[in-house]
Amino acid sequence: MPYASRKNQKERMRRVLDYLGPRFGVVETELHYATPFQLLVATVLSAQCTDKRVNSVTPALFAAYPDAASMATASADELFPYIQSVSYPNSKAAHLSGLARMLVDEFDGTVPASLDDLTRLPGVGRKTANVVLAVAFGQAALAVDTHVFRVAHRLGFVPKTANTPYKVEQALRPLIDDVDVGHAHFWLLLHGRYTCTAQRPKCLDCGLKDFCKGPLQVKAK
């Protein structure tokens, strides 16, 4: 199936979301948090790590450092024991210490609701920022992780030249109405996590077979 026009792609996306929506319903992040700051911290920790693992370490971390003001007083060495079981704990401990200090110094300890401001924080890339904007602030921001990247390519919503998460985000975003963006991220993610898996996708169980272009040929840079 060749890459279609934007109008046709938007119609196809509507059909895909109409299929996925009833299957997954209202979905939020599986990360546990109580405030935008805690969501930001948990999302930083979740990079190349499972939500289950992150949720196992954040209760003790948040009990000791519940907000930016308290975490800003901690060094990376002091944060490390709390997060040592997640992936890349040394760099993530440094990121958490640095972002908490920047939040206190530049944003009065409050998580900013701006992509530009969020991506200035240590350890906060575009995907993390979009998760926070969508989940904590209800903005029409689309986070592209490995699952969304894979599904977008397999379903033919992006051209082969969309070989980075940012390019996929830019191609997908015009196809999704603002009101649906927050849900669409999680629906595409969960479809990729449980059905359209990287290895051995469950094609026989998939109601989107007619949309599929087959195994992913483009790897994210």
Catalytic residue selected from 10, 52, 105, 127: 127
Is 209 one of the catalytic residues? no
Is 10 one of the catalytic residues? no
What is the per-residue DSSP string for 129-169?
HHHHHHHHH--------HHHHHHHHHTT-S-TT--SHHHHH
Structure token digits, residue 117 = 């401001």
Catalytic residue selected from 67, 92, 145, 167: 145
Residue from 135, 109, 140, 112 nearest 124 by CA: 112
How far is Cα 212 from Cα 126, in angstroms, rounded to an integer?
27
Residue 149 CA: distances (Å) to CA of 120, 142, 157, 169, 197: 24, 11, 10, 9, 11
How far is Cα 127 from Cα 85, in angstroms, rounded to an integer?
22
Catalytically annotated residues = 127, 145
